[in-house]
Amino acid sequence: MNKYGMALLVILFWGLAWVARPAQAQTPCSHVDFLVESTSVDLDRQAVCDAAQPWAETGTRIFIYLTDAPAANEAEWFAQLDQVETTQGYRSGDIFEKNVLAFEATTASNAGWAVTLTYGELLYDTALDQDETAVTRLKNEMRQAIQRGEATAAFVNGLEQSYRLNNPPPSPILMGAGVVAGLGVVGAGGYVAYRQVVIPAQRRARRRHELQGQLARLQQSVANLLLALEQLIAGREPQDAVLYQVFAAYGGQHEPERDEAVRGWLQQCQQAFAAALSVCASILMPFSTMS
């Protein structure tokens, strides 16, 4: 191959690499991350970035996920989202990145769960977290727009409506200078108390709830493991264990040295199993009574 042919191959390689680059990298702004796996609808990233700017000014990062991948049901959809969020670095187990607000949708379903909002700790106990009626209406409008092929409008409206929901304009009644002055002293004190006492307490309660959920899953895993071990090694003597009976059934008793070694090993396992049960009862179980 001559040098011109080699140069042509290099150019072709880089061209293919550019075309195949991840969709998330194609973003016109720094405060929105895109993962667009849909080929059935178009998405104007710049319009989405502009709509997300008010959220960015509050320190909230936006994640936009749009896919054509089908999900058979809600459980499958959420499992798919968990995987995507973990891969993108927003999720670690049950903990979602505290300053991220994710708008996630699939074009492959018109079910109510086909549009999802996921957010972290900074948005706990806000209107976005508590006003279920408004959020359901927002997601339904996004879903209907996506089904019409209007993905840009869906995400732009979703960003704008969610921001207005969390940051409503001041009431006209309170805009008068006299009212503001009259409420100044009491209102400032109450606001400070709310920000410094109530909100942190609510977040601690939410975090405690998450940790309790993790602990419950850990307890279940430990219980399952102990149950499986019990079925294999339980008994007063090593010879009572199912594992030893299998060993004996295959003629292990005819090899005295190996038989003695197996019984010694099983005895150690039974002792360790009894100790594990004690630890489980004295350390893990008391936590299950936390309120």
Report the predicted TM-score, pTM, of the whole model to 2 decimal places. 0.54
Q: Which helix (H) or strand (E) holds 190?
A: helix 177-193
Residues of the chain with pLDDT below 50 are 3-5, 7-25, 178-179, 185-186, 287-291
State residue 191's pLDDT score.
Answer: 57
- Contact between residue 214 and residue 221 where contact means Cβ atoms under 8 Å apart: no
State residue 99's pLDDT score.
Answer: 96
pLDDT digits (tens, 9 = 90+) for 67-99: 999 999 999 999 999 999 999 999 998 899 999
State residue 28's pLDDT score.
Answer: 73
State residue 252's pLDDT score.
Answer: 81
State residue 9's pLDDT score.
Answer: 45
61-67 β-sheet, strand order: 32-37, 61-67, 100-106, 115-119
Neighbours of 206 (CB within 10 A): 14
State residue 81's pLDDT score.
Answer: 96
